Chains A and B, each alone.
Chain A
Amino acid sequence: MARQVFIEFNGKMLRVEYTSENRHIWVYEQEENGKERRVPLEIVPLGGGVYLAFYNRSPLLFFVRNDKGGVEIQTSHVSLRARIRRFQPKENRQSENHSIVRAPMSGTVILVKKEEGEPVSEGEGILVLEAMKMQNEIQAPIPGILKKLHVQAGQAVTHGMPLFEIVRTETR
């Protein structure tokens, strides 16, 4: 599982999932027609909240800052406001009672924070995966019980390998 973000834009929900491999960022962008496309992305910071992105190889200069209730994104030709949500909308989440979390990238598990059978809350860190000198905390996508741990500290994992499983517990 890669990093997944939902954005509310023009009243519609967009899903952006991104992952890094070999120092490249890939964005999986879900189009309005439901199709998904994989786009390479490179970002160079220019300071003061200004970035130069190469999105699908096209240079794109943009400015971004937190705005009341969301984020303001500006290019020279548009200024728009969007809300970023990390989790899926509730109605989708509730149907998901069993979650298998996979490695979003190849790397090494450097820390496991939880044990099998422990209760976990949504967004709680389960383990830390290091890749390209960057540590990423892998979190529980749903609240529940940590049913199964597939990996242990020090273990090398490849992209897509299952890391752990969580089973939802009814708390409501």
Chain B
Amino acid sequence: MQRVLIANRGEIAVRILRTLHEMGIHGVAIYSEADQTALHVLLSDQAFPIGPEEARQSYLNIERIIQVAKESGADAIHPGYGFLSENPTFAEEVQKAGLVFIGPSPEAMQRMGDKVEARRVAEKAGVPVIPGTSEGFLDVDDALDAAQRIGFPVLLKARMGGGGKGMRVVRNEHELKTLFPMASDEALKAFGDGRIYIEKFIESPRHVEVQILADHHGNVVYLGERECSVQRRHQKVLEESPSPALTESLRKDMGEAAVALIREAGYTNAGTVEFLLDEQGRFYFLEVNARLQVEHPVTEMRFGLDLVQLQILVAMGERLPFRQKDLTPHGHAIEARIYAEDPYRNFLPSPGTIRFLVEPGGPGIRVDSGIYAGYTVPVYYDPILSKVIAWGKDRKEALTRLERALKDYLLLGIATNLPFHHHLLQHSDLQSGDYTTRILENFQMPEPEGREAIPAAIVVQTTQPPSPTRAQGKSGISRWRSVGFPASKPWEDW
């Protein structure tokens, strides 16, 4: 492999470039009109424009990306995460063009992308799935029978469901008798089908995923788990490994279940098997992510491996250089995702120009970043700016280092979720490790404390001459400048 095109942008494109360069492979970047000056372009060996800002016309434009890959002389494509990474059509088109797709086969991707098919594969591999009925019910007595077999609490779901319509959590027989007809009626009205599925309701689950690697020679290994329960509106914000909830035997059970499923699916390359873990320590298959995950560095830090490098070796047809027994993780790793969103304004996205940037470093800290000082974060894409990964010999050390690193993270010009992370790290459940996906349910950002900054800002604001930044795009002197004390000389003369 001489030349790899990265069909992605931002921090993940930068991260992949780094491995390519270590392997002596040329990295080809693609960019939309919004990304000409993005970091992944700056660090690439070659960069090609692929279209306008909207992802649909650029980073999701299969035809154009393959055309550029051919033009650049690339022999493989790495899709990163998001965008086209789990699109079987793209993987197939890449192969048809005579290029290597660094990821699973289109067939395996297709199979894992179909939720019903994935569940069937899991069952066949003997992997527990969330207990539920395979048919829908119209009759309340049949439904009650099924619910009692599964065990309360259960979730009623419309057969043709979506958007929560017809969905009810039912905790006992009495509730079922009342709520079932309502759910069925709602489903009938909404979807023209009143049939109701019944599924076990997992009250406070954890979201734990297992990293796997599979080559084309029948070798499949698991690389421990990642605890991903800290989510805000289904968006992960912090991940750690190992999960504080797993015992050694549970870890082994989940790892082996993931391997069995991957074998059954005929899946190759890197992938992630997601599980829900209930409060009794029972796990259920959720889905397979047929790609490199955002949070993959957490695993890399513990195993001392480069997953992108291994993805490339597997794609080249090589054998995995280790077996399960050779894999021993060390210490604890935690990742905090840094997003361009303002936690003080209901996590509103905050694109804009970064005016000042010092990213953290020091013992045990890794930063995967796609930004630089002076860079303008575009409005068109995912708000992820970077990831801070802390490694420590144990969880306590990793947490301490993460907290320190986040305090060292100096980023000005746009709002980020850094203040959110500071408060999250103070959360007693996070500190104890005893948390579930509900950890952020009632999370409230405290009022901003910034009184020290105010007087300094006022002195600047009421004495400084208009700076080019403020003069731009503004007609005349702003109201707030005019109410300040007039300064006849620049305030530096003070």
Contacts and interface: CB of A to CB of B under 8 A. Distances in A.
B23 interface: no
Interface residues on B, range: 35 or more
Interface stretch (A54-62, A93-101, A143-151): A54-62
Contacts of B19: none
19 contacts: A7-B454, A14-B451, A16-B454, A18-B455, A18-B458, A48-B467, A49-B413, A49-B469, A51-B456, A63-B412, A66-B474, A74-B412, A76-B410, A77-B419, A78-B344, A80-B454, A84-B483, A86-B462, A86-B485
A120 interface: no
A171 interface: no
B460 A51 contact: yes
B357 to A, nearest CB: 10
A132 interface: yes
Given A16-B455, A84-B480, A66 B449 contact: no
A51 B488 CA distance: 20
B356 A14 contact: no
A8 to B, nearest CB: 11
A79 B345 CA distance: 10
A136 B158 CA distance: 73
B451 A9 contact: yes
B459 interface: yes
B443 interface: no
Interface in B271-295: none
A99 B11 CA distance: 60
Query: What secondary structure prevails in chain A residues at the interface with B?
Result: strand
A82 interface: yes
Contacts of B460: 43, 45, 51, 64
Nearest to A6: B458
Interface residues of A, number: 56
Given A64-B461, A80-B344, A132-B493, A58 B411 contact: no
Nearest to B489: A134
B415 A79 contact: yes
Interface string B412-442: 1101001100100000000000000000000
Contacts of A18: 455, 458-459
Contacts of B452: 55-56, 58, 60
B457 A71 contact: yes
A41 interface: yes
Dominant SS at the B interface? mixed
A106 interface: no
Given A48-B413, A66-B481, A73-B450, A136 B488 contact: yes
Nearest to A14: B454
Contact of B485 (A3, A39, A53, A70): A3
A77 B407 contact: yes
B492 interface: yes
Contacts of B342: 79
A45 B407 CA distance: 22
Contact of A64 (B344, B457, B489): B457
Contacts of B480: 66, 70-71, 84
Interface string B233-267: 00000000000000000000000000000000000
Given A50-B355, A58-B452, A84-B462, A79 B344 contact: yes
Given A65-B470, A134-B494, A78 B457 contact: no
Interface in A4-39: 5, 7, 9-10, 14, 16, 18, 20, 23, 25, 27, 29, 39
